[in-house]
Amino acid sequence: MIPLETGHRDVITEMVKMYGPKSYLEVGVMQGKSVEAAVRYKSLNRLLLCDQDPHCQTYVNKILLEQQFLGEVEWLIGKSQTLLPTVGYKFDFVHIDGDHNEESEYQDLVNGWKLCKSVMIVHDISFSEVQTAVEKFLDGIDRTKVGVQRFTGDQETLVITR
Ligand SMILES: C[S@@+](CC[C@H](N)C(=O)[O-])C[C@H]1O[C@@H](n2cnc3c(N)ncnc32)[C@H](O)[C@@H]1O
């Protein structure tokens, strides 16, 4: 049982331990701190990382080297709202943490869910625009077929499982 007040990156590590995903998609990578939390447990062998800022690649390459990550890494550099719909395969674990504007967040949730096989997590749901987008997204899916859990640490994280 993961304590409800667990912070975002610890939620990621715990979910990786629990579900043992092989593939991971992250939208909004920044300096790769969440990527580090995701690869630490060594279950992943395929990453697709999306950010509009190409500088993320330098930070993440360093982290992956330190973590001795030997899997496949692909990048989508640009706006996730345009790029995610071009992705043709699915991921065990999807992490949404990019543009927190309501409409962009909603598009990332819808597009990310289409690419998600097992677990999707959403960061910063304490922000009002993210919260509104999440509510709209949850209203549009069959809630009887998914698990939804909210963790209150570090601006709050939502975990949706199918
Ligand atoms: C909150 S930070 C991500 C933090 C990261 N997930 C972590 O836990 O360390 C948001 C990131 O989203 C990126 N971003 C913002 N809007 C975006 C968009 N429309 N498409 C792709 N990336 C975007 C920013 O460049 C930034 O790196």
Query: What CATH number did the domain enclosing 113 receive?
Result: 3.40.50.150
Residue 36 lies in a domain: yes
Mean of the per-residue pLDDT values of the chain: 97
Residue 3 lies in a domain: no
Task: Residue count of the chain, please give it.
Answer: 162
Boundaries of domain holding 136 = 8-161
Distance of CA 156 to the CA centre of its chain: 13
Distance of CA 79 to the CA centre of its chain: 15
Question: What are the tens digits of pLDDT across the range 8-52?
Answer: 999 999 999 999 999 999 999 999 999 999 999 999 999 999 999
1 vs 6, residue with greater confidence: 6
Q: Please report the pLDDT score of residue 53 as a whole number.
A: 98
Rounded Cα–Cα distance for residues 144 and 2 (Å): 22
Residue 123 lies in a domain: yes
Cβ(34) – ligand 1 distance below 6 Å: yes
Residue 145 lies in a domain: yes
Check whether 126 has a pLDDT greater than 90. Answer: yes
**Structural domains in the chain (count):** 1
Q: Please report the pLDDT score of residue 1 as a whole number.
A: 87
Cβ(112) – ligand 1 distance below 6 Å: no
Paired sense of beta strands 91-96 and 23-27, if any:
parallel
Ligand 1 atom with the shortest distance to the CA of 124: 1
Ligand 1 pocket: which of 29, 47, 110 to mutate (most atoms within 8 A of CB) = 29
Express as a percent the part of the chain with pLDDT over 90.
99
Residue 149 lies in a domain: yes
Residue 2 lies in a domain: no
Rounded Cα–Cα distance for residues 46 and 48 (Å): 7
Residue 1 lies in a domain: no
Residue 142 lies in a domain: yes
